[in-house]
A and B are shown apart, each in its own frame.
Chain A
């Protein structure tokens, strides 16, 4: 289960007051700090509840200066989750700390290593490059250097995890006189690596080439991702990798209720809140010159891999009809998820079971129904043919054993 930790109770006129969910909203005009304290606790409770309900992994992420999701340091959340799920068959999926925004990035290597130690080797190490707003505007990273820093930081982190001798790092963006990390991850040479992307051709190729798990974090749903999915699997073939579905992850908004009508009724206003308030970020904050390298920019101008159509006029029903949100009875959700997952060959499906203004109780209900009625139909879908090489080794055990552990 994926969680953004959004602001759940924005004022009704938020959309008119602010042009952007990122950077512009004024804390002292919008936020209630006591409520925010509740959100953090609810978020942790919801993820722990999902772990108890049978979810295979819990996901955190890093964003800054916004109402959309503000786990500014996902390791803080991840450590609570790691501790709270000890002895359970649940991965701590940090997806994650943004390398270019943290200097030196060995700080993230240390935090992840701590998480792997606390969790007993259950960490999935996610390495997003970070949204342009987060890296460049909130953290001052030079836009055209974001990717370069990211790549250097990733090399540094991986070396720092597994090098047997202390070393000096003489990089372009980072220079460190002595790297001899304490602790190291239990999983050696490194935990499974997942790298999110949102539709950039060079990220796809970079991840396939590295043989890591590529996670497409769109919010437009499985159905809208067919072009990106096809591009991804073409790249896999072109670069000589196998067709193992577990190398591909996908994020989907899901809302389950007793019936289709009840689901629309219960989740409709939350999905509108999500797209209209929380995702309301103008292109001048997200498409800062330099955030894409030159070939990707030319490519996305000529043939975008991702539909960036305007969602402002869409209503709840549109979001459901177009598959941005898969909502309905357990049977409907199962069918639609299975269709999309098979079509795109998704091995790791991340479900956003809390979105928008959803209450704690509604979220628990969603988790409950999903884990009881939907998850069993998805589990082990690809296991006859493929091994999940992008999952913590200690968790690669049959699920019934997991229930016994819990």
Chain B
């Protein structure tokens, strides 16, 4: 794992402290994490950092030491404006956005709200659309005994084991469980009770070259949704990965990072 520089920004009229992990060198890329925080994404970010400077901001409220920041962002309009401010502070004009799950939903909303600012977009297992015939699973109420099965294609695989590993020490374990739980709560705020927050009305505004990646065994957001994203985003390319669930970048890290790198290195195509 490449060493990450940890930056702290004070945003939103001084009310939010945001940690941003910065890794690697080269052209910038912003990575937006999913509902479980950035904890498990280190190795994947290092792979992306081979030819990019990866900026990975922590969702409001998940930055250690500022849990109440989540109460400063009330809705999607706030969240999108907040990310505009964050990118400005980082000096990023129109960085490629790579998002996972909820983070992919944020990336897609940003691309729809401000098409000029998002020219390349990678959506890994995005949520944000809704079908009654294939509901997105509410990850906040998955029984503990079913979590591995729900999130991973290989529930007993190494990726699942590492993802759910907690420290032995009681206090360290409490802190880890708290951070893991709180991340879900902070993200859940924006998609409760179901993740249909109007993206379907706005998604046609996305003008970015878009890559949609999906795990074939995604049991949180069924792969059926890949078609819906592709249908609404002109020119979007869909790649479905085998032996991957809702966290394809953890179960198939090499394949996913290669796909992303190739896509980002590709020629610009005007839509």
Which residues of A are at the interface with B, using a C-beta cutoff of 8 A? 136-137, 140, 142-145, 148, 172, 282-285, 288-290, 293-295, 297-298, 301-302
Contacts and interface: CB of A to CB of B under 8 A. Distances in A.
Contact of B185 (A283, A289, A298): A289
Interface of B: 61, 67-68, 70-71, 74, 140-144, 170-171, 173-175, 177-178, 181-182, 184-186, 188-189, 192-193
B209 to A, nearest CB: 34
Given A172-B74, A288-B141, A294-B67, A144 B175 contact: no
A297 B170 contact: no
A27 B142 CA distance: 23
Residue from B71, B170, B175, B177 having most chain A Cβ neighbours under 10 A? B71
Contacts of B175: 298
27 contacts: A136-B193, A142-B188, A142-B189, A143-B185, A143-B188, A144-B70, A144-B185, A144-B186, A144-B189, A284-B142, A284-B143, A284-B144, A285-B141, A288-B140, A289-B181, A289-B188, A290-B140, A290-B182, A290-B185, A290-B186, A294-B68, A294-B182, A295-B67, A297-B178, A297-B181, A297-B182, A298-B174
Contacts of B188: 142-144, 289-290
B141 to A, nearest CB: 5
Nearest to A133: B141
A334 to B, nearest CB: 41
Contacts of B185: 143-144, 289-290
Contact of B184 (A172, A285, A289, A294): A289
A143 B192 contact: yes
A142 B185 CA distance: 9
Given A284-B144, A297-B182, A298-B174, A290 B189 contact: yes
Nearest to B190: A142
Nearest to A20: B143
A375 B118 CA distance: 71
A288 B182 CA distance: 10
A36 B57 CA distance: 53
B186 A302 contact: no
Q: Which 9 A-B pairs have the closest CB atoms?
A: A290-B185, A294-B67, A301-B174, A289-B185, A289-B184, A142-B192, A302-B174, A289-B181, A144-B185
A305 B140 CA distance: 24
